[in-house]
């Protein structure tokens, strides 16, 4: 099995993804390029998650209307990009790591309140 050092710009999630795949598979140069971008995308997802969790779920739009924080759209786009990058590598399904779930919203935030109301209504 080839040994490939992870790119120096990778953080925790990206390094973990790098190791989890290269511990199991020898990749071609093209697959390594896809993996490199998938790992960077994984790191970016972590930054986006942290940003979204620290912000209000609903913000003010350009005309003062309430809108969902734009970070949620970016999270979705990054998840789609990560899924496509991993799929392009054509690895067996059982080894493709699961994208970590968004951490639970802090107590008292709008999401928690909405969830509590929904559960109480059942």
Is 69 within the bounds of a domain? yes
Is 54 within the bounds of a domain? yes
Write out pLDDT tens, residues 74-113: 999 999 999 999 989 887 765 445 554 545 555 555 544 5
How many domains is the chain partitioned into structurally? 1
Is 65 within the bounds of a domain? yes
pLDDT at 115: 46
Is 80 within the bounds of a domain? yes
CA–CA distance, 84 with 105 (Å, rounded to integer)? 27
Is 6 within the bounds of a domain? no
Domain containing 66 equals: 12-121
Cα–chain center distance at 68: 18
Is 3 within the bounds of a domain? no
Is 5 within the bounds of a domain? no
């Amino acid at each position: 099995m080839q040994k490939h050092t992870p790119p120096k710009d990778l953080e925790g999630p990206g390094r973990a993804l790098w190791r989890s795949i290269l511990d199991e598979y020898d990749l071609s140069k093209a697959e390594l390029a896809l993996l490199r971008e998938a790992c960077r995308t994984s790191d970016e997802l972590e930054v986006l998650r942290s940003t979204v969790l620290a912000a209000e779920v609903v913000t003010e739009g350009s005309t003062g209307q309430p809108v969902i924080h734009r970070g949620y759209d970016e999270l979705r786009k990054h998840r789609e990009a990560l899924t496509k990058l991993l799929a392009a590598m054509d690895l067996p399904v059982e080894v493709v790591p699961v994208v970590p779930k968004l951490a639970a919203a802090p107590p008292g935030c709008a999401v928690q309140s909405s969830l509590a109301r929904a559960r109480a209504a059942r």
